[in-house]
Structure 1
Amino acid sequence: MKKLGFLVFLLVFMWSFPHIGEAATDTKVVLNGQQLSIPEEVQNIKGSVMVPIRVISQNLGYQVKWDQSAGQVNIDGEGKSIQLYIGKNAASVDNKTYSLNTAPVIQNGTTMVPIRLVSEQMGIGVHWNNSDKIVTLTSTGTSTGGGTTSDADKATSENGLALVNGISFSESRLLVTLDKSVTPKVSKMDSPNRIVVDLPNADFGGGFEQGANAEAGQIATLAVPNNENVSQVRYSQYSTDPSSVRIVIDLKKDRNYEVFNEGQGLLIVDLTANNGTNKQPDSTTGATQPGSSVGHSGKKVVVIDAGHGYQDPGAIGSQTTEKKLNLGLALKVEALLKDDPNIDVILTRSDDTFLELKERVKVAEKLNADVFVSIHANSSGSSAASGTETYYQRSSSKKLAQTIHKYFVAATGFKDRGVQYGNFHVIRETTMPAVLLEVGFISNKVEESKMMDSAKQDQIAASVVKGIKEYLGVS
């Protein structure tokens, strides 16, 4: 059963029971034995149930794009596409038009979607317990993997090209995630000093401004602030015939490196090595260094995930967007953690790029992370909604959630919404202890302003680090 089909089905199902919108927090929805997180923001507006689309995307792993100028929301997944338009009583599902009773609206920065979408051949078994208000959904062949593939990405994949889905730089390491493994050609050059990483038979995925099939020479820059070795990272579509991607690490001084290929599309160029030699893939065999340098010498590995990015802004406030808040806080957490000699910290994204949910999970899994922390800001249809909450999905993650939350909520100073179960993709599909942090409500102007304050961000970042260190048992 395709997850996009389930999304459409869930919207249709809830529309079939209008009373759910009036008492959403009393209604439980269980998919294949797992209770889904149905937020209190579910509303009944003019007789139509409205759902915050970002919450469904987080739970089910869809790629959501928001075109503000066109007032259009695009949801892509499993080779299918839904288009919704703010203020228009029509939706498009795979280029077929369906009527809506109520048009999508934006309330306090949250996109609210009317849930009358028509779908056939859902393939989901449904049981409705009216007395207990429990919806039990049972699907066959449900994919538990996450992420989405855009039409452009599918076309590129069919051409045999590897797609670059993410580029980040943290702890003097360049991380590149791809949808398949490649054998990179890495070289060091001088005048000026730089390390050049060429990825043959590769193209950019949809999470980059270049997008798939970008024109050659279109260069983007990844800032690397306060790094003693690196000034910036540049990347571009180096060639289109044959297609290849080039990534350049601009050095402040001569630096050696090692290349690690973790398999299944995770590539690391590590500048922490300083043994007088450059270690890179063998030109004949394509072999790279066995295993990663991350977590060596018994270091604990912490992966910090800044939610959303690039075309997916997350929740939209009156002054900023969620993706900016998430990244700003993640960078501050990284800065504190990397000063600890007992910890290796890795960011899933270190600038305004988009990484699919499954790619975020891949980074943590391939690096055998000890903990995974995803940072978000909340939003509600009510501007009065407020508070800090921490989510876990597996019982093995609950202690981490509780440990971080006690410091986290004290630092924000917001209402304590507690430690809660949540069925979010990144904390469900990871196998190490994993939590998702909702700092505060971007739809609440007071909390939004405080979350934008640099001093307050410093306090929050320090609290997250304190919780992580206590949980890991490092000083």
Structure 2
Amino acid sequence: MRTNGVFLFVCFIIVLTFSSFVNIEENKPSKKFVVVLDAGHGGKDPGNLGNGYREKDIALKIVLAVGKELEKNPNIKVIYTRKTDVFVDLFVRGKIANKANADLFVSIHCDSHTSQAYGAGTFVLGTHRNQTNFEVAKKENSVIFLEDDYEKNYAGFDPNSPESVMSILLSQEEYLDQSIQLAGLIQNNFANKLKRKNRKVKQAGFIVLHQTVMPSVLVELGFLTNKREGAYLNSKAGQNEMSIAIRDAILEYKNTIDKNVTDFNSIAENDQPIQEIANNVKFKVQIAASSKELDTKPYNFKGLETISRQKEGNLYKYFYGNTISYEDAKTLEEEAKKKGYTTCFIVAYKDEKKIPLIDALKSTAN
């Protein structure tokens, strides 16, 4: 009888221990999606003062409204570069995002012009397509002259020099695809949902975007110098509409990322291993996207060899490796990440045509 009692006690302890392990695993918090919201200007830097409105105030109000909405999602963590009327150096804004290991960086601004120009636009870091884009970036970048030790912090960067601006562009290239994706979602909401004039997604050399190491965009909400648009952006209704449009775009971007991960895991967790390809499917690792056509030599890609280049629209995309084995592609991806391409990802091609990775994986699972 005593033996049975001991046996039952041991079984109870084993079950209790196992249950605790299961609960620990179930309750283990997953990494939240981190969004850094950056209200342009602030403190001694008012931004533009079109029609008497203050850019720094409007940008802050919209940032706080976007953040308040995003914080309702328990899987999102919002970090602000400023929540009050204070001056924050541009390089510090980037440091805040990098230290947080953010998934997105969104900087909010308002535009100005000597004419009655109007409309909303979203920028990603890149080559100036024209003098107008350069002038927009120059206005925002000139804030560094208000900072202490700006020459030291920006290594001689001159906002007034196109050559100086061009020199900062390559650092963000590996995030360009994702940045353009988010910018496109924001612009789609501005143009289609709010019927704002669509100034489209553009590239320019904003130094605040250069300081970050994650997908990053800069939103120009509209022109305070335009009487009608300035009044709209200064109104509570206008600020609410613009903040909801930005919130929805960020959520849509996050949902797309989450869906890709879920679809991938559903294939990767299949009981049967992924087999070698016998149907003309090959895998590569995309490491960068650029508006520049670079020579595919190792010195341009941190020593990586077997680099290929493909033009898609206005962008040149750069890939590392070329293999029929998905397992080998994963090894290549790890090698690229160790070299510093932390956001690289695997892509699939069939008969030299790009196909969704999920379709390639499905075709190889037997």
The bucket for the TM-score relative to the shorter chain is: 0.3 to 0.5
User: Higher strand proportion, which one?
Assistant: 1
Q: TM-score, normalised by structure 2?
A: 0.47
User: Higher helix proportion, which one?
Assistant: 2
Q: TM-score, normalised by structure 1?
A: 0.37
Q: Which has the larger radius of gyration?
A: 2
